[in-house]
């Protein structure tokens, strides 16, 4: 590396994605790294989210790096605090903290063709330069604040679930929660335990299946620690179940509709066992196919609505006043605290999360919007040399975020390994390879519940504003790994200063 480039790589984001990228680069011998992070600590979503009830809803043996199993999970589905502790452990074990700069808000990055490096702008700081740029900015990192009339005039506290802190005590208060997504499914039973009255504003019901959760007995944890193969076996079982439920039933809807229907029937049956009132059951039953939006797992969500002080409100909100919420039929519910479990803005502000300008002044956000959202193998885009975008269209493996990260790490290993072999310092994916990948993913989606099923009423963030389900990678997890380890190397042009310059 010449003297004008500060870092081998600039990684944006110190969550599990950014840490996975750093581990992969270190294994490849790149140790001159910087990880820039807007928050004040590492862990990404598991640092930011602290709402009551926060836990993984993918079994912890699966929701973790396969190369760093954690035998100490207290439950099958670990609480959020254990995920944060696990992130801290990984950062320490792989010596990643030394690279991290917290409170560093990246405003943009542009490729300098002459210097053959990225220039990354950071608010209030000197820009940094890196041979490679990797953005690991997550999918669910930009909170969505609903534009409801009068919300600013509310006299009590309004809090989005990502802004929860320990000073919020809802004991004995009248609370309202807007939203019934995966976050609300975890939060609602917890708030109902404390609040004297809880009104939940539901716009779209969600599919909920039982969560097969339990404490992991100490003897099993000791076994996992002593004989790691036993935990690997548990992971294989969990991966297999999730691949069936979250991947095959969703992405191969055409071929395996029965799996999808069984999952929906299981949810309906579960609801029947939890809620006696037929009207309430109807209100809680989705009218779109299972998997159109992310299914959720909970043993207490449905039942909570049968409690006397909990009210499910399905009439649309008209406006908020200083002391309550008014629905379009003119009814007002007086409340003390308003909780926004309204999710995240993916498509407008997260793709990409920062302004990225590549060769020939191509602006990634504009190009995606003008030419469809796309990224070769969910990581690379033509005219963006030396850039891997890890939170991309078609990158998210439906199984677990960790399978996404690890397949991307495998992609990096193959790509950077070849660059090293050829003495190259710049890579760029070809237009042809990128177009071919997009065509394949588009064709695969025809089999999915998104296109072959009934999703029009789901309001799912899996769909972009153009109506394309461009978030999940529509292949099996095994295929994602196979391609990461074997993609044609001439899908990239590799160059070195001696050849090009
Ligand atoms: P979400 O799934 O996008 O849900 C947001 C909810 O807010 C929806 O019910 C939405 O209704 C509602 N909403 C938004 N704006 C509204 C408005 N103006 N008026 C009324 N309702 C409004 O967000 P989330 O629950 O935060 O979950 C996001 C993702 O995070 C999940 O899908 C999951 O992948 C992840 N997550 C994971 C875990 C875990 O344990 N691993 C836990 C929590 C979350 P509509 O559906 O009608 O738009």
Ligand 1 pocket member 327 (CB < 6 A) = no
Note whether 21 and 36 are within 8 A (CB). Answer: no
pTM: 0.96
Q: What is the 3-state secondary structure (H, E, C) of 65-127?
A: CCCCCCCCCCECCCEHHHHHHHHHHHHHHCCCHHHEECCCCEEEEEEECCCCEEEEEECCCCC
Give domain 7-142+346-495's CATH architecture.
Answer: 3-Layer(bba) Sandwich (3.50)
Q: Which of 183, 213, 314, 318 to mutate to test the pocket of ligand 1 (most atoms within 8 A of CB)?
A: 183
* Domains 7-142+346-495 and 154-211+254-288+298-340 in one fold: yes
Q: What DSSP assignment string belongs to 307-327?
A: STTEEEE-SPEEEEETTEEEE
Between the CA of 140 and the centroid of ligand 1 the distance, in Å, is 10
Q: What DSSP assignment string belongs to 157-217?
A: EEEEGGG--TT---TT-EEEEE--SHHHHHHHHHHHHH-SEEEEE-SS---EE-----BPP
What is the structure's pLDDT at 2?
Answer: 56
Q: Residue 398 and residue 471: Cα distance in Å, rounded?
A: 9
Listed residue (260, 309, 332, 312) closest to 289, CA to CA: 260
Ligand 1 pocket member 181 (CB < 6 A) = yes
Between the CA of 416 and the centroid of ligand 1 the distance, in Å, is 37
Ligand 1 pocket member 178 (CB < 6 A) = yes
Between the CA of 344 and the centroid of ligand 1 the distance, in Å, is 7
Note whether 379 and 389 are within 8 A (CB). Answer: yes
CATH of segment(s) 154-211+254-288+298-340: 3.50.50.60
Which three-class secondary structure state does DSSP give residue 416?
A: helix
Between the CA of 98 and the centroid of ligand 1 the distance, in Å, is 35
**Atom 27 of ligand 1: nearest residue by CA position:** 182
Q: Please, which residues have CB within 8 angstroms of residue 477's CB and are 6 or more apart in sequence?
A: 239, 243, 247, 397, 398, 399, 403, 407
Q: Please, which residues have CB within 8 angstroms of residue 471's CB and are 6 or more apart in sequence?
A: 139, 346, 393, 394, 396, 461, 462, 463, 464
**Which residues lie across from 472 on neighbouring strands?**
396
Reported for 142-148, long-range contacts at CB under 8 A and 24+ positions apart, including other chains, are: 142/344, 142/345, 142/346, 142/349, 142/350, 142/353, 143/340, 143/342, 143/343, 143/344, 143/345, 144/342, 144/343, 144/344, 144/345, 145/340, 145/342, 146/178, 146/340, 146/342, 148/178, 148/317, 148/319, 148/320
Listed residue (29, 27, 28, 45) closest to 37, CA to CA: 45
Residue 339 dihedral angles phi and psi, to the nearest 5°: -105, 125
**Atom 15 of ligand 1: nearest residue by CA position:** 342
Q: Which residue has the tokens 């090009």?
A: 500
**Atom 45 of ligand 1: nearest residue by CA position:** 204
**Atom 17 of ligand 1: nearest residue by CA position:** 146
Ligand 1 pocket member 184 (CB < 6 A) = yes
pLDDT in tens, the chain (501 residues): 556 899 999 999 999 999 999 999 999 999 999 999 999 999 999 999 999 999 998 999 999 999 999 999 999 999 999 999 999 999 999 999 999 999 999 999 999 999 999 999 999 999 999 999 999 999 999 999 999 999 999 999 999 999 998 899 999 999 999 999 999 999 999 999 999 999 999 999 999 999 999 999 999 999 999 999 999 999 999 999 888 877 888 899 999 899 889 999 999 999 999 999 999 999 999 999 999 999 899 999 999 999 999 999 999 999 999 999 999 999 999 999 999 999 999 999 999 999 999 999 999 999 999 999 999 999 999 999 999 999 999 999 877 899 999 999 999 999 999 999 999 999 999 999 999 999 999 999 999 999 999 999 999 999 999 999 999 999 999 999 999 999 999 999 999 976 444
Ligand 1 pocket member 459 (CB < 6 A) = yes
Q: Which of 297, 342, 401 to mutate to test the pocket of ligand 1 (most atoms within 8 A of CB)?
A: 342
Ligand 1 pocket member 49 (CB < 6 A) = no
Between the CA of 23 and the centroid of ligand 1 the distance, in Å, is 31
Locate the ligand 1 atom nearest the alpha carbon of residue 147 and give its number: 18
Q: What DSSP assignment string belongs to 434-447?
A: HHHHHHHHHHHHTT
**Atom 40 of ligand 1: nearest residue by CA position:** 56
| Domain range summary for the chain, segments of one domain joined by + | 7-142+346-495, 154-211+254-288+298-340
Which three-class secondary structure state does DSSP give residue 405?
A: helix
What is the structure's pLDDT at 369?
Answer: 96
């Amino acid at each position: 590396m010449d003297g004008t480039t500060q870092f081998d790589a600039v990684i944006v984001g110190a969550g599990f994605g950014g840490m996975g990228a750093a581990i992969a680069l270190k294994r490849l011998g790149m140790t001159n790294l910087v990880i820039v992070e807007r928050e004040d600590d590492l862990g990404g979503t598991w640092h930011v989210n602290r709402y009551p009830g926060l836990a993984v809803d993918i079994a912890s043996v699966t929701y973790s790096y396969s190369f760093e199993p954690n035998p100490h999970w207290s439950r099958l589905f670990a609480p959020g605090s254990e995920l944060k502790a696990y992130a801290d452990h990984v950062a320490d074990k792989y010596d990643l903290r030394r690279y991290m700069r917290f409170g560093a808000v990246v405003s943009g990055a542009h490729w300098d063709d002459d210097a053959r490096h990225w220039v990354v702008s950071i608010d209030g700081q000197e820009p940094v330069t890196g041979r490679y740029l990797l953005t690991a900015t997550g999918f669910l990192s930009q909170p969505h604040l609903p534009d409801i009339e009068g919300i600013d005039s509310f006299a009590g506290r309004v809090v989005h679930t990502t802004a929860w802190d320990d000073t919020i005590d809802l004991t004995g208060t009248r609370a309202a929660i807007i939203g019934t997504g995966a976050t609300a499914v975890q939060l609602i039973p917890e708030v109902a335990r404390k609040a004297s009255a809880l009104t939940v504003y539901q716009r779209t019901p969600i599919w909920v299946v039982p969560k097969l959760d339990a404490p992991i007995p100490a003897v099993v944890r000791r076994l996992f620690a002593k004989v790691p193969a036993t935990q690997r076996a548990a992971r294989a079982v969990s991966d297999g179940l999730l691949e069936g439920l979250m991947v095959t039933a969703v992405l191969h809807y055409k071929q395996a509709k029965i799996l999808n229907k069984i999952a929906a029937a299981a949810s309906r049956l579960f609801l029947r066992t939890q809620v006696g009132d037929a009207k309430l059951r109807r209100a809680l039953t989705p009218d779109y196919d299972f998997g159109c939006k992310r299914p959720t797992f909970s043993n207490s969500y449905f039942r909570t609505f049968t409690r006397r002080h909990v009210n499910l409100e399905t009439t649309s909100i008209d406006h908020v006043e200083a002391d309550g919420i008014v629905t379009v039929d003119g009814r007002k519910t007086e409340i003390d605290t308003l909780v926004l479990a309204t999710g995240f803005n993916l498509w407008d502000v997260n793709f990409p999360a920062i302004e990225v300008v590549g060769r020939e002044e191509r602006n990634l956000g504009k190009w995606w919007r003008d030419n469809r959202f796309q990224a070769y193998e969910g990581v690379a885009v033509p005219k963006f040399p030396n850039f891997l975008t890890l939170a991309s269209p078609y990158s998210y493996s439906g199984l677990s975020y960790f399978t996404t990260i690890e397949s991307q790490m495998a992609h990096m290993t193959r790509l950077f390994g070849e660059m090293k072999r050829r003495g190259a310092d710049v890579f760029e994916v070809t237009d042809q390879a990128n177009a071919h990948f997009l065509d394949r993913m588009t064709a695969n989606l025809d089999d999915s519940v998104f296109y072959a099923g009934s999703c029009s009423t789901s309001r799912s963030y899996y769909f972009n504003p153009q109506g394309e389900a461009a978030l999940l990678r529509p292949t099996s997890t095994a295929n994602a790994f196979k391609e990461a380890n074997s993609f044609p190397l001439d899908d990239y042009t590799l160059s070195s200063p001696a050849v090009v310059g």
